[in-house]
Structure 1
Amino acid sequence: MRDYDEITAFLGEWGPYQKLIFFLLSLSIFPNGFCGLSIVFVGDVPEHRCLIPGNLNLSEAWLNRTIPLVQERDKLQYSKCSRYRLDVIMNLSATFPDSDSFNMSEVEQEPCLDGWEYSKEQYISTIVSEWDLVCNNDWKGPLSMSVFFLGVLVGTFITGQLSDRFGRKAVLFGTMAVQTGFTMIQVFSPKWEIFCLLNFFVGVGQISNYVAAFVLGSEVLGKSVRVIYSTLGVCISYAIGYMFLPLIAYFIRSWRMLLLTLSLPGLLYIPLWWFIPESPRWLLLKGRIQEAEGIIRLIAKKNGVIPPAVIFTDLELEDIKAKSVQSYTIIHLVKTYNIRAITIINLLVWMILSIEYYGLSLNTPNLNGDAYLNCFFSAAIEVPAYTAAWLLLQRFSRRFSLSGALFLGGLVLFFIQLVPSNLSILTTMLVMVGKFVITSAFSMVYVYTAELYPTVVRNMGVGVSTMASRTGSIISPYFVYLGAYNELLPFILMGGLTILSAILVLFFPETINIPLPETIDQMQNIKCFKSRTSCSNRDNFDKGETTEKCDGY
């Protein structure tokens, strides 16, 4: 019995219509790049110190001494969260006109009771300066990012169900509207709590749009184009959008105007509704056969080929529907010894990868040098990273390619602490190398995970892995938060975790040039674990009747 790909083979793999869909779907991911990481600039912390009321009758010399000097990051600078008691300063200024004649270490300190004064050198405003998210409230900054990633987690969970029920196209454009609309509403946030709530819905739309475009492209495009679409198409479009973020943020220094500007391109995608089709596969599964055939005939017309008079026979339609029946649950991902070990390691690797990727992306303002250039380089490095991942997947071992990339990335990040503080450019270069290999690894792990799991639970396996990844992204802002206390601590922690994940990947079986398993019984065994059946079962394994092997797997 022919499957869908065989039935529609007459359309060709790379005709004019497939090229158009490839381009339009990739283009739909473009806004995700700058909206998803806009918090890098929207939530950055400007230089600040306690506000001193202007109605105090103090000389300029005494005003300059109202803020204590503290040792921070190997240099002496004004305290950000405390000042000397102003009533004491007023009395001292009357007694000692020469401020240098008094030792300020004897004066009691107090918190910033009148608020803070923020530097306007880099930003006109951010959510931090708008709502004073500093000192005792500095935990609110990372939480703003985590709430966004919590929305991403929820979006990941509901996207598949919405897509299966309402269609790929409807979810794609619906979630694009959610992302664009809630970003626009964020501009008018009256307080931090409202901003966070809206940020949650922006996160839901952001990931749902990405996943819907990924699924729709995978179902409309042919086999030979899907790998290129999932690595070079979708991912590079995201990276290019990410590259535009620092360019726009450089010219717009107010967070409200920045968010409004970043949301406007979403309106330009409305006309795509009339060019992007619904997935014929989904229509067939829903019994909408005439609509599916109409789209297939349209593709044939655009490609200049003549379709057969009868595209699907009754038996083929029944077979396609039968194959879509899902009788497996999430329990099957941990039901047997082998698949349980693969799932646990896989979830850890995905979570660590997400911590590293978003930790490095969100940490760009903390690097030495220009924040806008650092962010641009962090985005630009993703384009060759995705290309490198595609080349590695074509030619080399999955296991050693992914493990090698993770080990190199972890090593680079871990040893940043050894770079002398006066070589800040070298530190930035090492961070970019780390971002390069982590991005490549993130792209490779999608393909590797899909090949590890059998067809009957493949979508479920990738979906659960993605949810683990989103859990890591929720944690990642707090890794960046540690940089406020020690700028090297985030790199030490991320480097150590990445090396751990590189070791875990070595336990996976190799999948390159090996047929994809169809059932759980046909899965390869995880390496370095003893088999639970005897070698007499080898013949049965070759027939696909058992999962166990006796050759070291």
Structure 2
Amino acid sequence: MGYDSLIERVGSFGLFQKRLFVLFFLNGIPNGLLITSIVFLHFVPTHRCKLPFYERQYNQENPSFNYSEGAIPEVDNVKCYNGYDYVSDTGIKSAMMEFDVVCENAWIKPLISSLFFVGIAIGTLSGSISDRFGRRPVFLAFTFIQFFSVFCTSFPPDITTYGVLFVLCGLSQTINFMCAFIIGAEFTTPDRRNFLSISSFVSYSVGYLIGPFFSYFIPNWRWLMRLNGLIGILYIPYQLTLNLNNYFRLIPESPRWLLSNGKRKTAITVLEQVAQMNNCAVNQQEEIETILLTDSSENNLSNKKEDELDVTKDDDTAGNILFRFFGSNSEFKNAYYDHGHFIFLVGIYFGISLSVDTLSGDIFINCFLMGLIEIPGLIAAFMGVKYCSRSYAHSGFMFISGFACLLAALFKNVYPTVTLMFALIGKTANAGVFYIVFVHTAEIVPTNVRHFYMCAGSFAGRVGSVIAPFFGYAVELFGVFAPYLILSGVVLTSALMTLLFLPNTHLKRLPESIAD
């Protein structure tokens, strides 16, 4: 189609795209950092009720308590009225410890984590915002909201306020991430799209990787969240417009979105500046205009959208779009099937991530390994997407993840270290599938509704992330066998269905409209 040939003309992977790669790489690090922080924010060590009479025996020669207070007349469980003592050699002072979210209140811990993912789910439903108002303004606005909300999370006086702020953190992080991913995909051609898009995922893993170091040196949860929020100061340049010959933004609006919304002149201006930065021999506006006019598909793209395809029309609601998606185009069905099994993928990914404290070994080392192991998984997924059928790569990584979880369940009671190893393998494969799913879905749906459908479809997967925090809670209650066995079963089933039904989009151009 015309847009991809035009991008090739102005440079499909020149200095501009490389700079965009670096910017989005840096943008994704705080997202992974926040997920890792949850493990330490919600860490609950061994604990017991405070015993006032025991605390008063600081002078062993002159104890100031009655020995009758230590008598145990009955063994019924009673509520702790004097707080809790926490026994841990990690030095962590978590939010759950400060708010005493233990014993009869233990269910609040997974609930608070779920609220973060509720925010993510709400964020996925906001996908039409960038389809309507543009990728760049939405990306910048929610980048600011993300860091501001994270910083505010360090000040709540009670667990309720803490949970509400967590919802806002999840919402802003998701919209930020999705916009960055889509801008990267729309600024390059199919053969380079894979490389540019993976920057968001590798940076997430890097953030996950460095999170344990932050938590180790800043064990107080309030100061940890303040640091995570203040990191946003480093991203102020993203908001700026710089003067380089002509005005040029660090992150400009997507020309593909501009053309889809009839903003031809602005799109040409951006493309001119991309060509200039990439040192491509394009005779400025005249040549770009010629390319657009001579390509009928791009010419249609730059015209006003037909009424039946215009997602901004009052009578073209999300429900109507969904109806057309399911009723008239098999690719729409594929996009939503692609996310139908995403619920299991997301559930197992965050289930393993947030239950790292239930595995044997040091929590800091385990969390570091969970982040480190994602990078080879993403590299393998990158190679799989580059050289293999999307459906083969997709299902292959899911099969590996499912079998790894199954083996982790089988060895838990015999070899805890082996269980950790298989949990890491499962996490590696899940990281790869996460990347493949986003690439696959972005290549199925058309430009004018791409963000909307990626977000709306991803919402189904967020059901899995909302349930995921209760996975670790279930492990604590019932042991690791049953939860891991159930997860492995549904992932293996989903892998088989992916292999059988999802289409291959390897090296195919992005569709511009529903008709494509």
Give the CA deviation at 1:13: 1.6
Give the CA deviation at 1:120: 4.6
Give the CA deviation at 1:337: 10
Matches within 5 A, 1:160-171: 160-171=127-138
Give the CA deviation at 1:494: 1.7
Equivalent position of 1:372 in the other structure = 364
Question: Which whole-Å deviations, capped at 9, do the CAs of 1:278-322 have from their partners, x for residues lacking one?
Answer: 223333444544433332222222222342341225857752234
Matches within 5 A, 1:180-329: 180-231=147-198, 233-274=199-240, 275-308=250-283, 309-310=285-286, 311-312=288-289, 315=293, 319-322=300-303, 325=306, 326=309, 329=321
Equivalent position of 2:314 in the other structure = none
Matches within 5 A, 1:145-184: 145-158=113-126, 160-184=127-151
Give the CA deviation at 1:435: 0.8
* Kept in 1: contact 2:402–2:488 (CA 8 A): yes
In structure 2, distance between residues paired with 1:216 and 1:414: 38
Equivalent position of 2:491 in the other structure = 498
Code of the residue aligned with 1:111 in structure 2: it is: K
Matches within 5 A, 1:11-160: 11-54=10-53, 90=68, 107-158=75-126, 160=127
Give the counterpart of 1:486 among 464, 471, 478.
Answer: 478
Segment of structure 1 superposing worse, 22-31 or 328-337:
328-337
In structure 2, distance between residues paired with 1:458 and 1:205: 19
Code of the residue aligned with 1:299 in structure 2: it is: V
Give the CA deviation at 1:324: 5.0
* Kept in 2: contact 1:366–1:487 (CA 8 A): no
Question: Which structure's relative contact order is higher, taking Cα pairs within 8 Å and 6+ residues apart?
Answer: 2
In structure 2, distance between residues paired with 1:128 and 1:442: 29
How many residues matched? 485
Give the CA deviation at 1:240: 0.8
Q: Kindly tell me: are residues 441 and 3 of structure 1, through their superposed partners in 2, closer, same or farther at Cα, counting changes over 3 Å?
A: same
In structure 1, distance between residues paired with 2:271 and 2:509: 27
* Kept in 2: contact 1:58–1:90 (CA 8 A): no
Counterpart secondary structure, 1:407: helix
Q: Kindly tell me: are residues 203 and 344 of structure 1, through their superposed partners in 2, closer, same or farther at Cα, counting changes over 3 Å?
A: closer
Give the CA deviation at 1:406: 1.7
In structure 1, distance between residues paired with 2:512 and 2:20: 32
Q: Kindly tell me: are residues 449 and 35 of structure 1, through their superposed partners in 2, closer, same or farther at Cα, counting changes over 3 Å?
A: same
Equivalent position of 1:83 in the other structure = none
In structure 2, distance between residues paired with 1:137 and 1:113: 13
Question: Which whole-Å deviations, capped at 9, do the CAs of 1:435-494 have from their partners, x for residues lacking one?
Answer: 111222222223334455678876554333211111211111111211111331332222
Equivalent position of 1:7 in the other structure = 6
* Kept in 2: contact 1:50–1:117 (CA 8 A): yes
Q: Does 1:353 align with 2:345?
A: yes
Question: Which whole-Å deviations, capped at 9, do the CAs of 1:249-301 have from their partners, x for residues lacking one?
Answer: 11111100111112222210111333222223333444544433332222222
Code of the residue aligned with 1:403 in structure 2: it is: S
* Kept in 2: contact 1:31–1:238 (CA 8 A): yes
Code of the residue aligned with 1:90 in structure 2: it is: S
* Kept in 1: contact 2:194–2:386 (CA 8 A): no
Equivalent position of 1:76 in the other structure = none
In structure 1, distance between residues paired with 2:514 and 2:326: 13
Q: Does 1:382 align with 2:382?
A: no
Give the CA deviation at 1:364: 1.0
In structure 1, distance between residues paired with 2:510 and 2:132: 27
Q: Kindly tell me: are residues 220 and 24 of structure 1, through their superposed partners in 2, closer, same or farther at Cα, counting changes over 3 Å?
A: same
Greater Rg by CA: 1
Unaligned runs of 5+ in 1: 62-85, 94-103, 524-553
Equivalent position of 2:247 in the other structure = none
In structure 2, distance between residues paired with 1:382 and 1:318: 42
Q: Kindly tell me: are residues 284 and 435 of structure 1, through their superposed partners in 2, closer, same or farther at Cα, counting changes over 3 Å?
A: same
Q: Kindly tell me: are residues 456 and 335 of structure 1, through their superposed partners in 2, closer, same or farther at Cα, counting changes over 3 Å?
A: farther
Give the CA deviation at 1:518: 6.2
Question: Which whole-Å deviations, capped at 9, do the CAs of 1:148-202 have from their partners, x for residues lacking one?
Answer: 11111111111x3221333222111111111100111111111111111111111
Counterpart secondary structure, 2:478: coil
Code of the residue aligned with 1:497 in structure 2: it is: V
Give the CA deviation at 1:426: 1.3
Q: Kindly tell me: are residues 57 and 34 of structure 1, through their superposed partners in 2, closer, same or farther at Cα, counting changes over 3 Å?
A: closer
Counterpart secondary structure, 1:329: helix
Give the CA deviation at 1:516: 7.0
Q: Kindly tell me: are residues 505 and 370 of structure 1, through their superposed partners in 2, closer, same or farther at Cα, counting changes over 3 Å?
A: same
In structure 2, distance between residues paired with 1:182 and 1:188: 11
Q: Kindly tell me: are residues 166 and 398 of structure 1, through their superposed partners in 2, closer, same or farther at Cα, counting changes over 3 Å?
A: closer
* Kept in 1: contact 2:338–2:502 (CA 8 A): no
Code of the residue aligned with 2:212 in structure 1: it is: P
Code of the residue aligned with 1:251 in structure 2: it is: F
TM-score, normalised via structure 2 length: 0.85
In structure 1, distance between residues paired with 2:331 and 2:6: 33
Counterpart secondary structure, 1:386: helix
Equivalent position of 2:396 in the other structure = 404
* Kept in 2: contact 1:454–1:520 (CA 8 A): yes
Q: Kindly tell me: are residues 19 and 449 of structure 1, through their superposed partners in 2, closer, same or farther at Cα, counting changes over 3 Å?
A: closer
In structure 1, distance between residues paired with 2:8 and 2:365: 47
Code of the residue aligned with 2:350 in structure 1: it is: Y
Counterpart secondary structure, 1:49: strand
Code of the residue aligned with 1:482 in structure 2: it is: A
In structure 2, distance between residues paired with 1:342 and 1:123: 49
Give the CA deviation at 1:359: 0.6
Q: Kindly tell me: are residues 476 and 305 of structure 1, through their superposed partners in 2, closer, same or farther at Cα, counting changes over 3 Å?
A: same
In structure 2, distance between residues paired with 1:129 and 1:47: 11
In structure 2, distance between residues paired with 1:157 and 1:518: 22
TM-score, normalised via structure 1 length: 0.79
Give the CA deviation at 1:338: 6.4
In structure 2, distance between residues paired with 1:519 and 1:299: 21
Q: Kindly tell me: are residues 348 and 266 of structure 1, through their superposed partners in 2, closer, same or farther at Cα, counting changes over 3 Å?
A: same
Code of the residue aligned with 1:321 in structure 2: it is: S
In structure 2, distance between residues paired with 1:185 and 1:252: 17
Unaligned runs of 5+ in 2: 241-249, 311-319
Q: Kindly tell me: are residues 303 and 245 of structure 1, through their superposed partners in 2, closer, same or farther at Cα, counting changes over 3 Å?
A: same
In structure 1, distance between residues paired with 2:329 and 2:133: 36
In structure 1, distance between residues paired with 2:57 and 2:35: 47
Q: Does 1:443 align with 2:435?
A: yes
Counterpart secondary structure, 1:155: helix
